[in-house]
Amino acid sequence: RADDLAARFDARNGTTAHADLRRARLGRAPLLDTLELTLRTRTLDDVASAAPSAPKATPLAPVTDPLAPESAPAAVRASSGHPSSDPAPSESLPALITRARALQELGHPDADACWARLRTLVAASDYVHPDDPEVGPLVRLRADLLADEASRADERDDHAVAVPLYEEAAGLYDDAGAAGDAAIARAFALLAAAEMG
C-alpha cells in the first residue's frame, strides 16, 4: 500500500523521488540501541558550561534573595543555588511575614510552613505585632492567616468552611486598606461557593 502511494506521488510529479526515498529508508539497518525516553534534569552548572562565554561586565552589588531567611548563614543560602525556605526559628518576625507572603505569591509549597509558624506565633498570649510599614498592621496579617486557612479548606474540598473564611479575610483586608487582596479573597469565596453547587 505504501509502495502504491509513493508510486502515485512519483507519477504525478514525474520523478522517482518518493519511491527512492522509501526504498533507501527501508534499506537501512534498524536501530538496535536502547533509547532513553526520559527527561534528564540539568543543573545550573550544566547550563552555564554549555552557554557561550559572555563579555566581561562590570561587577554589580550582590542581589539578596527575598525568600532566603536573613538569619541563615551565607553558605546555607548559597549551597546548591536554592534558597532555604524553611522557617528558621531565629528568623525575625518581619522577615518571616514578608517571606511567607512572597512564597504564597509564588505558589511555593513552603509557604504553608511559614503560615503555620506565624499562626502559632500570633496565637501566643505574648505576641507583639512588629511596627514595620512593610509588614503592615496586625489586621492584614490576620487576614493573610484566614485566607491561608480558607485555601487549605478549599484544597480539602471543604468549601462550606472555605467560603466564610474567605469572606472574613476579605473584610479584614478592607480594614487593612488592601483592596486588591480583598477582591482576590472575595473572588476565591465566589469560586468556593460555586464548587458547593
Three-class HEC string of the chain: CHHHHHHHHHHHHCCCHHHHHHHHHHHCCCCCCCCCCCCCCCCHHHHHHHCCCCCCCCCCCCCCCCCCCCCCCHHHHHHHHCCCCCCCCCCCHHHHHHHHHHHHHHCCCCHHHHHHHHHHHHHCCCCCCCCCCCCCCHHHHHHHHHHHHHHHHHHCCCHHHHHHHHHHHHHHHHHHCCHHHHHHHHHHHHHHHHHHC
Confidence of residue 38 (pLDDT cuts 50, 70, 90): confident
Give the pLDDT band (50/70/90) at residue 100: very high
- Give the cell for residue 134: 512593610
Q: Is the pLDDT of residue 84 over 90?
A: no
Top-confidence residue, 84 or 110: 110
Q: What is the pLDDT of residue 157?
A: 92
% the chain with pLDDT above 90: 54
What does the DSSP 8-state code read for residue 169? H
131-172 tens-digit pLDDT: 988 999 999 999 999 999 999 999 999 999 999 999 999 999
Average pLDDT, the chain: 81
Q: How many CA atoms lie within 13 A of 38 on its CB side?
A: 3
Instruction: Report DSSP state, residue 137.
Output: -
What pLDDT score does 30 carry?
Answer: 83
Average pLDDT over residues 94-120: 92
pLDDT score at 47: 61
What is the pLDDT confidence band of residue 65, given thresholds at 50, 70 and 90?
low
pLDDT at 35: 73
Residue 44 has pLDDT above 90, yes or no: no
Domain residues of the chain, as ranges? 87-196
Q: What is the pLDDT of residue 2?
A: 84
Give yes or no for residue 67 having a pLDDT over 70. no
Instruction: For residue 48, name the pLDDT band (cuts at 50, 70, 90).
Output: low
Whether pLDDT at 98 is above 80 = yes
